[in-house]
Chain A
């Protein structure tokens, strides 16, 4: 086998990669696109080694060790951590209040007019399209943008963060709730609707028993995401651990920043563990 292969080729055939030409072409095209992008992104690695930047960064990172462990600071950090957890929990609770009616309105499995060509079908589709648009706007604008806007309306502090979580996650949960309700077994709800029950009763007795577990476990997963988002939102003044980190960074206090980073990593691990545990209980 090994000796058969070379003899099939002419002895002078150069060893070359058959795909070389197309690869070179793609690389060239990629470089042509990349060049203006590098320019737009102001890609200047030299800036990293600018003497002034190096000094600021060196001093700052030098302070990371040891992390600040004074009882007073840790007390602050503990309060901020509780605040972050409370923000995520309260935010998700409000998000559910928003998501359940919107999700039910959007779900096709609770549509009476879809069963047969009945009256109100056009109106139903209009309401559904409007709901879909509202949900898209709610979740399409990132939570930190909502937080930045709400901080201006409600002042600095956790209220803006809670509402930002409520709005963004309300949009996400509403969309996914309606998808979960449509993906499960919709026949019981349809039978109830056909025999004349109302939409809410059809939801409670026909859809909820089959999909409650999935709905709950998705909500818990989103709570875990909201914990992470709540930390980040502090950077625009919405309270919690992020606001503390923002303050420490502005004062270039490396020791505090490294403690907060460690606390943040532990908080994310904790939220992850809680979410996995609850979801396992639900399963």
Chain B
């Protein structure tokens, strides 16, 4: 399933909404999740999962082509942990 198919499914269930409004609603929800993480917050969606930010320590990496050592700075990356209900549903429970 891709973004446009998700929007279509929601539009089909909500005939009173214009497709462009559904588009905005979906984008608002997803942007809110990204914004929260960009601000260092987490988003906990019970039964679905939790989005959080993980810190990666600085390290000495290597240029794979030249073998040269390069310093990689500390950085923050998005992380998702599957919720219990969804994990169980994936396994037919």
A and B physically associate = no
Interface residues of A (CB under 8 A from B): none
